[in-house]
Amino acid sequence: MTVVGPFGLSVWDENLDADVQAGLAAVEEGLLEATKSDVPFITDTARHLLRAGGKRFRPLLVMLGAQFGDPHAPGVVPAAVVVELTHLATLYHDDVMDEADVRRGVPSANSRWDNSVAVLTGDFLFSRASHILADLGPEAVRVQAEAFERLVTGQIMETVGPRDGRDPLDHYLEVIAGKTSSLMAVSGRFGAMMSGADESVVHVLTQYGERIGVAFQLADDVLDIASDSHESGKTPGTDLREGIPTLPVLHVRRWRAQGKGPATPEDRRLNELLDGDLTDDALHAEALHLLRAHPALEQARRDTVRYADEARAALAPLPDLPAKASLAALCEAVVHRAG
Protein backbone atom coordinates (compact mmCIF):
# COMPACT_ATOMS: atom_id res chain seq x y z
CA MET A 1 0.00 0.00 0.00
CA THR A 2 1.29 3.48 -0.85
CA VAL A 3 0.84 6.13 1.83
CA VAL A 4 1.21 9.84 1.19
CA GLY A 5 3.44 11.05 3.99
CA PRO A 6 5.26 14.25 4.92
CA PHE A 7 6.36 16.61 2.13
CA GLY A 8 3.92 14.88 -0.23
CA LEU A 9 6.19 11.85 -0.03
CA SER A 10 4.87 8.51 -1.23
CA VAL A 11 5.84 5.91 1.36
CA TRP A 12 5.70 2.26 0.33
CA ASP A 13 5.54 0.76 3.80
CA GLU A 14 2.87 1.32 6.45
CA ASN A 15 5.25 0.57 9.32
CA LEU A 16 7.71 3.15 8.01
CA ASP A 17 4.92 5.69 7.66
CA ALA A 18 3.78 5.05 11.23
CA ASP A 19 7.35 5.40 12.55
CA VAL A 20 8.01 8.61 10.63
CA GLN A 21 4.69 10.19 11.56
CA ALA A 22 5.14 9.30 15.23
CA GLY A 23 8.67 10.67 15.17
CA LEU A 24 7.63 13.94 13.57
CA ALA A 25 4.78 14.33 16.06
CA ALA A 26 7.32 13.90 18.88
CA VAL A 27 9.54 16.50 17.19
CA GLU A 28 6.64 18.98 17.19
CA GLU A 29 6.18 18.42 20.92
CA GLY A 30 9.90 18.89 21.42
CA LEU A 31 9.86 22.14 19.43
CA LEU A 32 6.99 23.51 21.51
CA GLU A 33 8.85 22.66 24.70
CA ALA A 34 12.11 24.14 23.41
CA THR A 35 10.46 27.43 22.44
CA LYS A 36 8.77 27.90 25.80
CA SER A 37 10.22 30.64 27.99
CA ASP A 38 9.43 32.01 31.42
CA VAL A 39 9.02 35.32 29.60
CA PRO A 40 5.72 35.15 27.65
CA PHE A 41 6.90 37.62 25.02
CA ILE A 42 9.88 35.40 24.18
CA THR A 43 7.59 32.38 23.88
CA ASP A 44 5.43 34.37 21.49
CA THR A 45 8.33 35.47 19.28
CA ALA A 46 10.07 32.08 19.39
CA ARG A 47 6.90 30.27 18.31
CA HIS A 48 6.01 32.82 15.63
CA LEU A 49 7.48 30.87 12.71
CA LEU A 50 6.85 27.54 14.42
CA ARG A 51 3.12 28.24 14.39
CA ALA A 52 3.32 29.23 10.72
CA GLY A 53 4.17 25.63 9.87
CA GLY A 54 6.93 24.54 7.55
CA LYS A 55 7.92 21.39 5.74
CA ARG A 56 10.04 19.94 8.58
CA PHE A 57 12.29 18.60 5.84
CA ARG A 58 15.34 18.31 8.09
CA PRO A 59 13.55 16.35 10.85
CA LEU A 60 12.18 14.10 8.13
CA LEU A 61 15.74 13.34 7.01
CA VAL A 62 16.64 12.50 10.61
CA MET A 63 13.68 10.12 10.90
CA LEU A 64 14.43 8.36 7.63
CA GLY A 65 18.14 8.13 8.43
CA ALA A 66 17.32 6.52 11.76
CA GLN A 67 15.57 3.67 9.98
CA PHE A 68 18.97 2.14 9.20
CA GLY A 69 19.54 1.54 12.90
CA ASP A 70 17.14 1.73 15.84
CA PRO A 71 14.61 4.44 14.91
CA HIS A 72 13.37 4.55 18.50
CA ALA A 73 16.79 5.22 20.03
CA PRO A 74 16.55 8.02 22.63
CA GLY A 75 18.70 10.54 20.73
CA VAL A 76 16.79 10.50 17.44
CA VAL A 77 13.95 12.91 18.28
CA PRO A 78 16.15 15.39 20.22
CA ALA A 79 18.60 15.47 17.29
CA ALA A 80 15.71 16.29 14.93
CA VAL A 81 14.59 19.06 17.28
CA VAL A 82 18.13 20.47 17.26
CA VAL A 83 18.37 20.69 13.48
CA GLU A 84 14.93 22.26 13.14
CA LEU A 85 15.60 24.81 15.88
CA THR A 86 18.85 25.72 14.16
CA HIS A 87 17.05 26.08 10.85
CA LEU A 88 14.33 28.24 12.41
CA ALA A 89 16.94 30.46 14.03
CA THR A 90 18.61 31.09 10.67
CA LEU A 91 15.25 32.13 9.17
CA TYR A 92 14.87 34.90 11.76
CA HIS A 93 18.35 36.15 10.94
CA ASP A 94 17.90 35.76 7.17
CA ASP A 95 14.72 37.83 7.19
CA VAL A 96 16.56 40.68 8.92
CA MET A 97 19.40 40.57 6.39
CA ASP A 98 16.98 40.34 3.45
CA GLU A 99 14.54 42.89 4.92
CA ALA A 100 11.81 40.35 4.19
CA ASP A 101 8.19 41.17 4.98
CA VAL A 102 6.69 37.68 4.71
CA ARG A 103 7.84 34.23 5.79
CA ARG A 104 5.74 31.07 5.48
CA GLY A 105 2.72 33.12 4.54
CA VAL A 106 2.78 35.29 7.70
CA PRO A 107 4.51 38.59 8.52
CA SER A 108 8.19 38.00 9.22
CA ALA A 109 9.34 38.54 12.80
CA ASN A 110 11.29 41.65 11.85
CA SER A 111 8.24 43.22 10.20
CA ARG A 112 5.86 42.24 13.01
CA TRP A 113 8.22 43.48 15.72
CA ASP A 114 11.61 44.86 14.68
CA ASN A 115 15.08 43.74 13.65
CA SER A 116 16.44 43.58 17.20
CA VAL A 117 13.65 41.29 18.37
CA ALA A 118 14.10 39.03 15.32
CA VAL A 119 17.88 38.74 15.79
CA LEU A 120 17.61 38.08 19.51
CA THR A 121 14.87 35.50 18.97
CA GLY A 122 17.14 33.69 16.55
CA ASP A 123 19.87 33.75 19.19
CA PHE A 124 17.42 32.37 21.75
CA LEU A 125 16.60 29.45 19.44
CA PHE A 126 20.31 28.76 18.88
CA SER A 127 20.82 28.64 22.64
CA ARG A 128 17.95 26.19 23.11
CA ALA A 129 19.35 23.97 20.36
CA SER A 130 22.76 24.00 22.08
CA HIS A 131 21.18 23.04 25.40
CA ILE A 132 19.54 19.96 23.87
CA LEU A 133 22.66 19.13 21.92
CA ALA A 134 24.78 19.00 25.07
CA ASP A 135 22.85 15.89 26.17
CA LEU A 136 23.61 14.08 22.89
CA GLY A 137 27.33 13.77 23.54
CA PRO A 138 30.58 15.43 22.47
CA GLU A 139 30.57 13.93 18.96
CA ALA A 140 27.15 15.41 18.26
CA VAL A 141 28.34 18.78 19.59
CA ARG A 142 31.38 18.65 17.30
CA VAL A 143 29.31 17.71 14.24
CA GLN A 144 26.83 20.53 14.86
CA ALA A 145 29.61 23.04 15.55
CA GLU A 146 31.31 22.21 12.25
CA ALA A 147 28.02 22.54 10.39
CA PHE A 148 27.27 25.83 12.11
CA GLU A 149 30.67 27.16 11.08
CA ARG A 150 29.94 26.17 7.48
CA LEU A 151 26.51 27.78 7.68
CA VAL A 152 27.86 31.10 8.93
CA THR A 153 30.76 30.99 6.46
CA GLY A 154 28.28 30.52 3.64
CA GLN A 155 26.27 33.50 4.82
CA ILE A 156 29.39 35.67 5.03
CA MET A 157 30.49 34.56 1.57
CA GLU A 158 27.07 35.50 0.20
CA THR A 159 27.28 38.90 1.88
CA VAL A 160 30.74 39.84 0.59
CA GLY A 161 30.29 38.27 -2.87
CA PRO A 162 32.80 36.41 -5.06
CA ARG A 163 36.43 37.50 -5.03
CA ASP A 164 37.93 38.99 -8.17
CA GLY A 165 38.26 36.45 -10.95
CA ARG A 166 35.97 33.90 -9.29
CA ASP A 167 33.08 32.58 -11.33
CA PRO A 168 29.96 33.94 -9.57
CA LEU A 169 28.06 30.72 -10.26
CA ASP A 170 30.77 28.56 -8.66
CA HIS A 171 30.83 30.99 -5.74
CA TYR A 172 27.07 30.70 -5.37
CA LEU A 173 27.15 26.90 -5.29
CA GLU A 174 29.76 27.08 -2.54
CA VAL A 175 27.57 29.51 -0.63
CA ILE A 176 24.55 27.22 -0.66
CA ALA A 177 26.71 24.22 0.23
CA GLY A 178 27.41 26.12 3.43
CA LYS A 179 24.07 27.81 4.06
CA THR A 180 21.76 24.92 3.16
CA SER A 181 23.59 21.65 2.58
CA SER A 182 25.53 21.76 5.84
CA LEU A 183 22.39 21.34 7.96
CA MET A 184 20.82 18.85 5.55
CA ALA A 185 23.97 16.72 5.80
CA VAL A 186 23.84 16.90 9.59
CA SER A 187 20.21 15.79 9.51
CA GLY A 188 20.99 12.58 7.64
CA ARG A 189 24.13 12.08 9.71
CA PHE A 190 22.34 12.56 13.05
CA GLY A 191 19.59 10.14 12.08
CA ALA A 192 22.11 7.41 11.36
CA MET A 193 24.41 8.30 14.29
CA MET A 194 21.70 8.44 16.93
CA SER A 195 20.14 5.18 15.74
CA GLY A 196 23.46 3.34 16.02
CA ALA A 197 23.74 2.61 12.29
CA ASP A 198 27.07 1.50 10.79
CA GLU A 199 29.63 4.20 10.07
CA SER A 200 29.33 3.43 6.36
CA VAL A 201 25.63 4.32 6.54
CA VAL A 202 26.45 7.53 8.41
CA HIS A 203 28.81 8.49 5.59
CA VAL A 204 26.29 7.71 2.84
CA LEU A 205 23.51 9.71 4.47
CA THR A 206 25.86 12.63 5.07
CA GLN A 207 26.76 12.69 1.37
CA TYR A 208 23.10 12.34 0.42
CA GLY A 209 22.23 15.31 2.63
CA GLU A 210 24.93 17.42 1.00
CA ARG A 211 23.55 16.81 -2.47
CA ILE A 212 19.85 17.02 -1.74
CA GLY A 213 20.57 20.23 0.16
CA VAL A 214 21.88 21.86 -3.01
CA ALA A 215 18.91 20.54 -5.00
CA PHE A 216 16.53 21.85 -2.35
CA GLN A 217 17.98 25.37 -2.50
CA LEU A 218 18.08 25.42 -6.29
CA ALA A 219 14.43 24.34 -6.32
CA ASP A 220 13.73 27.27 -3.99
CA ASP A 221 15.50 29.58 -6.43
CA VAL A 222 13.25 28.40 -9.24
CA LEU A 223 10.15 28.53 -7.05
CA ASP A 224 10.94 32.09 -5.95
CA ILE A 225 10.87 33.21 -9.58
CA ALA A 226 8.25 30.92 -11.06
CA SER A 227 5.59 30.77 -8.34
CA ASP A 228 3.21 33.22 -6.77
CA SER A 229 3.16 34.05 -3.06
CA HIS A 230 0.35 31.56 -2.40
CA GLU A 231 2.52 28.65 -3.54
CA SER A 232 5.82 29.69 -1.97
CA GLY A 233 4.58 31.31 1.25
CA LYS A 234 6.72 34.39 0.67
CA THR A 235 6.86 37.32 -1.70
CA PRO A 236 8.09 36.18 -5.15
CA GLY A 237 11.40 37.59 -6.29
CA THR A 238 12.54 38.62 -2.81
CA ASP A 239 16.21 38.00 -3.60
CA LEU A 240 15.77 39.69 -6.96
CA ARG A 241 14.45 42.83 -5.27
CA GLU A 242 17.34 42.85 -2.80
CA GLY A 243 19.94 42.41 -5.54
CA ILE A 244 20.94 38.93 -4.33
CA PRO A 245 21.67 36.86 -7.45
CA THR A 246 20.25 33.34 -7.37
CA LEU A 247 20.69 30.59 -9.94
CA PRO A 248 18.45 31.86 -12.78
CA VAL A 249 19.98 35.35 -12.59
CA LEU A 250 23.50 33.92 -12.50
CA HIS A 251 22.78 31.93 -15.66
CA VAL A 252 21.51 35.06 -17.42
CA ARG A 253 24.70 36.91 -16.48
CA ARG A 254 27.02 34.03 -17.35
CA TRP A 255 25.47 33.67 -20.79
CA ARG A 256 25.87 37.40 -21.37
CA ALA A 257 29.54 37.28 -20.28
CA GLN A 258 30.18 34.33 -22.60
CA GLY A 259 28.28 35.85 -25.52
CA LYS A 260 25.66 33.12 -25.34
CA GLY A 261 21.94 33.09 -24.72
CA PRO A 262 19.13 34.77 -26.66
CA ALA A 263 20.10 38.10 -28.26
CA THR A 264 16.57 39.49 -28.18
CA PRO A 265 15.20 42.86 -27.06
CA GLU A 266 13.67 41.09 -24.07
CA ASP A 267 17.03 39.59 -23.11
CA ARG A 268 18.77 42.95 -23.40
CA ARG A 269 16.06 44.60 -21.32
CA LEU A 270 16.31 41.88 -18.66
CA ASN A 271 20.07 42.34 -18.38
CA GLU A 272 19.58 46.08 -18.10
CA LEU A 273 17.07 45.60 -15.29
CA LEU A 274 19.28 43.09 -13.46
CA ASP A 275 22.10 45.62 -13.48
CA GLY A 276 19.89 48.27 -11.93
CA ASP A 277 17.86 48.93 -8.80
CA LEU A 278 14.86 46.62 -8.53
CA THR A 279 13.35 48.02 -5.36
CA ASP A 280 10.84 49.88 -7.53
CA ASP A 281 7.69 47.73 -7.75
CA ALA A 282 7.13 48.28 -11.47
CA LEU A 283 10.73 47.49 -12.45
CA HIS A 284 10.75 44.47 -10.15
CA ALA A 285 7.56 43.13 -11.71
CA GLU A 286 8.96 43.66 -15.21
CA ALA A 287 12.19 41.83 -14.38
CA LEU A 288 10.26 38.98 -12.78
CA HIS A 289 8.06 38.66 -15.88
CA LEU A 290 11.05 38.61 -18.24
CA LEU A 291 12.97 36.15 -16.09
CA ARG A 292 10.03 33.76 -16.02
CA ALA A 293 10.10 33.65 -19.82
CA HIS A 294 13.90 33.38 -20.11
CA PRO A 295 15.61 30.03 -20.87
CA ALA A 296 17.83 30.59 -17.81
CA LEU A 297 14.89 29.50 -15.67
CA GLU A 298 14.70 26.17 -17.51
CA GLN A 299 18.47 25.76 -17.12
CA ALA A 300 18.04 26.27 -13.38
CA ARG A 301 15.43 23.51 -13.37
CA ARG A 302 17.86 21.18 -15.15
CA ASP A 303 20.54 21.98 -12.57
CA THR A 304 18.09 21.11 -9.81
CA VAL A 305 17.39 17.74 -11.44
CA ARG A 306 21.12 17.04 -11.78
CA TYR A 307 21.81 17.53 -8.07
CA ALA A 308 18.73 15.53 -7.12
CA ASP A 309 19.98 12.70 -9.35
CA GLU A 310 23.36 12.84 -7.60
CA ALA A 311 21.62 12.59 -4.22
CA ARG A 312 19.68 9.54 -5.38
CA ALA A 313 22.84 7.92 -6.74
CA ALA A 314 24.59 8.43 -3.40
CA LEU A 315 22.06 6.07 -1.80
CA ALA A 316 23.24 3.07 -3.85
CA PRO A 317 25.35 1.42 -1.09
CA LEU A 318 22.46 1.39 1.42
CA PRO A 319 20.50 -1.80 2.11
CA ASP A 320 17.19 -2.02 0.30
CA LEU A 321 14.95 -0.92 3.15
CA PRO A 322 11.71 1.05 2.65
CA ALA A 323 13.53 4.12 3.99
CA LYS A 324 15.97 3.96 1.07
CA ALA A 325 13.08 4.10 -1.39
CA SER A 326 11.59 7.01 0.52
CA LEU A 327 14.86 8.94 0.49
CA ALA A 328 15.01 8.38 -3.28
CA ALA A 329 11.42 9.58 -3.59
CA LEU A 330 12.38 12.75 -1.71
CA CYS A 331 14.67 13.58 -4.62
CA GLU A 332 11.65 13.46 -6.92
CA ALA A 333 9.62 15.56 -4.50
CA VAL A 334 12.31 18.24 -4.43
CA VAL A 335 12.51 18.33 -8.23
CA HIS A 336 8.71 18.50 -8.46
CA ARG A 337 8.76 21.75 -6.46
CA ALA A 338 10.86 23.31 -9.23
CA GLY A 339 8.72 21.87 -12.01
pLDDT in tens, the chain (339 residues): 343 444 455 556 788 988 999 999 999 999 999 999 999 999 988 888 888 777 899 999 999 999 999 999 999 999 999 999 999 998 888 777 766 666 766 777 777 777 888 889 889 999 999 999 999 999 999 999 999 999 999 999 988 888 888 899 999 999 999 999 999 999 999 999 999 999 999 999 999 999 999 999 999 899 889 876 545 555 678 788 878 888 999 999 988 877 776 678 888 899 999 999 998 999 999 999 999 999 999 999 999 999 999 999 999 999 999 999 999 999 999 888 765
3-state SS, residue 97: helix
Contact 128, 35 (CB under 8 A): yes
Domains of the chain plus CATH, in order, are 9-197 (1.10.600.10), 201-320 (1.10.600.10)
How many angstroms separate the CA atoms of 259 and 257, rounded? 6
Contact 77, 30 (CB under 8 A): yes
Q: What is the DSSP letter of 293?
A: T
- Beta strand 3-4 with 10-11: parallel, antiparallel or unpaired? antiparallel
